[in-house]
Structure 1
Amino acid sequence: MKKIRNLFIKINDKLKKRKLRKKLKSTDFTIISNNCWGSFTYQKYGLMYRSPTIGLYILGHDFVKLCSDWENYFQYDLEFISWNKTSYYYALKNEKPFPVAKLKDIEIYFMHYHSEKEAADKWYRRIKRINPNHMIFKLSQREECSKEDIKKFISLPIEHKVCFSYEDIPGTINIPELKEFVGDEMELINKYFDDLDILNE
């Protein structure tokens, strides 16, 4: 019975995702996200990951730099660094270590990866899948993301971008609960925002 129940759940999930995909104008978009929102969006629609920013997060100020020059940044090699040498170590020192790498002058926190090799393999594989003609950039005001970082992100000459902030900042979608929020933000954001608005722009 358990196998039958699991099979039913799996089939139902596939049908649900297929129904959701029909709402998309295209399915080959690349989401560059500062955290796992991009990952969960691809999963929601049952789509292949077409972005290297999967299963990781990037601090606010670094993410803005990445978005401002992503074509060049994604050509640099990852250089993994010691756990206690990260700039965010003061907030992570009590957590179980995970791979962290420098991409030129920014840090990438591979929180959902078990080894440097796994993180690097998937990073480089997914860079090759980037669709430069359909890029979507997303930033949430978390992980040392300041009001100034938000303003800089909003001012970037990027056509398709969305920003969620707990502060009331023009050009963003205000979500007060994001302040000191811990965990997956997808469900919270869905209360304020329909991802089809940005995916189908």
Structure 2
Amino acid sequence: MSYFLDKRRQKLGRILDRRRLKNKDFTLFSNDCWGAEVYKHLGLPFNTPFIGLMLSAPCYLKLLSKPQYYLAQPLAFQAQSLYQNINELQERWAHRFPIALLGGDVEIQFLHYHSEEEARAKWTRRVQRINWDNIFIKFDGSKDYATPELVKTFDALPMPRLTLLSEPQADISSAVVVPRYTIDGMQQFERVLPHFDLVGWLNGGSIYATTGVQVYNKLLFPVIG
């Protein structure tokens, strides 16, 4: 019974969040599937190419150092990954997923695509939707070769940013520690949603929830499962 009540509370929370959101034409860069969940939660089109894919931390930070340069480069598909763990993942994944380089040294793993043609078509279309005047960036700093140094580099970037961590790291202004941390980006979205102010952040405010928003989140966004 509580499962169905929790799902109803989440549905109500999504409706209210969509009404609270004023900034509807933003682009979110994310190193995994977490970003897609933001757009779904808010009922918005994917105005970002970072959907259904992942980047290992070193490549993601390299892309963020020159985003307009890298996102203007064509995808160059590769048979093998630069990362051994990705090659191992490829062998046990439900299907072989495309892997591509941007600018010769930033690798993207298109986990949820079944062909190079599909990956290229959707990536190219969504790159054209980027609103370069309204960029938000999110980084999971506790997986995929992330290091404390890369977290610090991300935290110093000039765009509005959010860092998700499995445990605290000192002097990171954009950090949110995720209870019941998971490496799954979709599950991670549900687990962190009660613990920061997503809509307030996208509306130009802080990631940190006020007392009122904390109560709102606790009531409307219970973590299921």
**Which TM bucket (shorter chain)?**
0.7 to 0.9
2:120 paired residue number: 120
1:162·1:198 contact (CA, 8 Å) conserved in 2? no
CA distance in 1 between partners of 2:132 and 2:101 (Å): 23
Which residue identity is paired with 1:70? P
Residues 25-59 of structure 1 deviation map (CA, whole Å, 9 limit, x = unaligned): 12100000111111010011110111011111111
TM-score, structure 2 as length reference: 0.75
Could you report, residue by residue, the CA deviation over 1:122-173 in whole angstroms, capped at 9, with x for unpaired residues? 10101110001110000012222222211111122x2311111123222211
**Residue 165 (structure 2) aligns with:** 165
| Secondary structure class of the residue paired with 1:191 | helix
Counterpart CA distance in 2 for 1:65 and 1:33 is 13
Identity fraction in percent: 33
Give, in whole Å, the separation in 1 of the partners of 2:55 and 2:137: 13
Whole-angstrom distance in 2 between the partners of 1:151 and 1:101: 27
Normalising by structure 1, report the TM-score: 0.84
Which aligned segments of 4 or more residues in structure 1 are displaced greater than 4 angstroms?
Answer: 15-19
- Quote how far apart the aligned CAs of 1:117 are: 0.5
Aligned partner of 1:74 among 50, 71, 76: 71
What secondary structure is seen at the aligned counterpart in 2 of 1:66?
Answer: helix
Match of 1:45 in 2: 42
1:198 aligns with 2:201: yes
Structure 1 CA distance, aligned partners of 2:99 and 2:24? 30
Answering whether residue 19 of structure 2 is matched by residue 22 of structure 1, we say: yes
Whether the 8 Å CA contact 2:34–2:185 is kept in 1: the answer is no
Cα displacement (A) at 1:19? 4.3
The structural deviation recorded for 1:195 is: 1.0
Shift of 1:65: 1.0
**Shift in alpha-carbon separation, 1:147–1:167, aligned structure 2, 3 A:** farther
Q: 1:135 to 1:85 in 2, by over 3 A?
A: closer
- Would you say 1:144 and 2:145 are equivalent positions? yes
Match of 2:221 in 1: none
| Deviation of 1:176 (Å) | 5.5
**What's the secondary structure of 1:22's corresponding residue?**
helix
